Structure 1
Amino acid sequence: MGIRLSCRQYNWNKVSQGRILPSITSKAFIIDRHDRSVVVKTWQQMCRKQSECGEAILFKLYPATRQFFTIFDADESIEDLKCTPHFKTHVNRFMAYIQLFVECHFDVRECQKLMSVLAVSHKHLNLIPDHFEVFPPVVERTLKEVLKNECDNSIIQAWTNFFKGISKVMMEELSNVKSPQFCDIVDLEN
């Protein structure tokens, strides 16, 4: 099992050499050119520790969003939760989506495709924009842990803008998801 979503492949060697792909002015992006560059560069360091970063983000989010993780026992301790395969899968999926946003170069259309998949699976949670407000401070703490002295206000602002862009696209896609259609039960014997 896993996520199979396609975006253009990205040559990570170009990033490590400091050559970020140029933006195409005819496209719309969820964040500006500077923020894209900052997120791509810092993502390299975060993706080396994807599981740890994903766990840090979601475990620090967990107390504030406990009611949204309906597959987990609400009274389960974080230590016990770390051992559950469902949470590990959620962490890996979360980080895979960030990877896909980076690979898509934050193109609005590509992000909409990705978020439409997430919107369908999250529609039942009745998400509102306020639910996404928990991400920037948690990501900021995670960036500071991973990047240490390299983390500055420019990096924090770029990632904050990135999550605001994701949140905006997610809310748009959630509004496009139709509620599930339920069929009437038909008595075949009559």
Structure 2
Amino acid sequence: MGSAGGKLITTDNHVRVDHSNRTQPFTLSKRNKKIIRQTWKKISANKIENGVLVFFKLFQIIPDAKQYFTSVEFFNDMKDLIKDPLVRSHGLRFMKAIETMLEIEFDSNGCIFLFSAIGNRHCSYGIEADYLDYVPQAFRFMLTKALGNNYTDKIASVWDEILSHIIKAMQDKVREGTKLKEDKEEVARRISSAYLTDKKGEDCKSTTNGSEDSPNVM
């Protein structure tokens, strides 16, 4: 089974994505593809609620992520959060993206393209790439709820593998976009600084010339 993309690091019961290298093409074994398809049937039976479960756990792990949902009234109860239309919409979009991954038969280039585009969109929201590290952990939480007694660590590890690749693709695009934005801001700052310096020099020169042209009054 090839695994040249992002890898998951588990420390202190936390699952995070290793983003030391850019996303590379990947392959999944037939066995793991089968596990994902079989469990997806159960998960997709309630896309919205399970999608919201992922966000519910994310908000618990990283409360700062709530800042991107300014219109949402946050409560500690999942029953309250699932009623919010914005969170429901995001949960459904997330699940549909996962579903698309299955529909294109886990095609590596297709998956990377899809989630890179999603990462690019998240960059426009100003989201921090590191927040995405915790999506696999939140997804595991959802798996425990959606699969119930059918949940196993093996199933979770299979999902971890594919999530590591797609989250890596998103993070690469977010970081790329953030760097581009910072570079543009730096260029703008330098241009502005150079303009102000030149303007100050011209003003000083104009003042000096004006003083020389003025008649001396004794």
The answer to whether the superposition gives a TM-score over 0.5 is: yes
Structure number having the greater helix percentage: 2
- Percent identity over paired residues: 21
Equivalent residues in 2 for 1:1-190, closer than 5 Å: 28-29=25-26, 31-69=28-66, 70-72=68-70, 76-79=74-77, 80-123=80-123, 124-128=126-130, 131-177=131-177, 178-179=180-181
Q: How far apart are the structure 2 equivalents of 1:90 and 1:135?
A: 13
Shift of 1:157: 0.8
Judge conservation of contact 1:38–1:155 (CA < 8 Å) in 2.
Answer: yes
Larger displacement relative to structure 2 (143-152 or 155-164): 143-152
Listed as ranges, the gaps of 5+ residues in structure 2 are 1-24, 189-218
Q: How far apart are the structure 1 equivalents of 2:47 and 2:158?
A: 19
Question: Could you state the TM-score of these two structures normalised by the residue count of structure 1?
Answer: 0.68
Q: How far apart are the structure 2 equivalents of 1:156 and 1:48?
A: 18
Q: How far apart are the structure 2 equivalents of 1:84 and 1:153?
A: 31
Amino acid at match of 1:62: F
In structure 2, do the counterparts of structure 1 residues 83 and 74 end up closer, same or farther at CA, with 3 Å as the change threshold? closer
Helix, strand or coil: the match of 2:70?
A: coil
Q: How far apart are the structure 2 equivalents of 1:174 and 1:51?
A: 25
Q: How far apart are the structure 2 equivalents of 1:31 and 1:117?
A: 22
Helix, strand or coil: the match of 2:69?
A: coil
Identify the structure with bigger relative contact order (alpha carbons < 8 Å, sequence gap 6+).
Answer: 1
Judge conservation of contact 1:30–1:162 (CA < 8 Å) in 2.
Answer: no
Deviations 1:35-84 (A, max 9, x none): 22211111011001111211212112212233234133587324554332
Judge conservation of contact 2:57–2:141 (CA < 8 Å) in 1.
Answer: no
Amino acid at match of 2:174: L
> May I ask how many residue pairs the two structures share in their alignment?
154
RMSD (Å), alpha carbons = 2.6
**4+ residue runs of structure 1 moved beyond 4 angstroms?**
none
Question: Could you state the TM-score of these two structures normalised by the residue count of structure 2?
Answer: 0.61
Deviations 1:70-109 (A, max 9, x none): 1335873245543322111111111111111111222121
Q: How far apart are the structure 2 equivalents of 1:71 and 1:143?
A: 24
Q: What corresponds to 1:24 in structure 2?
A: none
Shift of 1:111: 1.2
In structure 2, do the counterparts of structure 1 residues 88 and 50 end up closer, same or farther at CA, with 3 Å as the change threshold? same
Judge conservation of contact 1:119–1:170 (CA < 8 Å) in 2.
Answer: yes
Amino acid at match of 2:166: I
Amino acid at match of 2:95: M
Q: How far apart are the structure 1 equivalents of 2:108 and 2:153?
A: 25
Shift of 1:148: 2.2
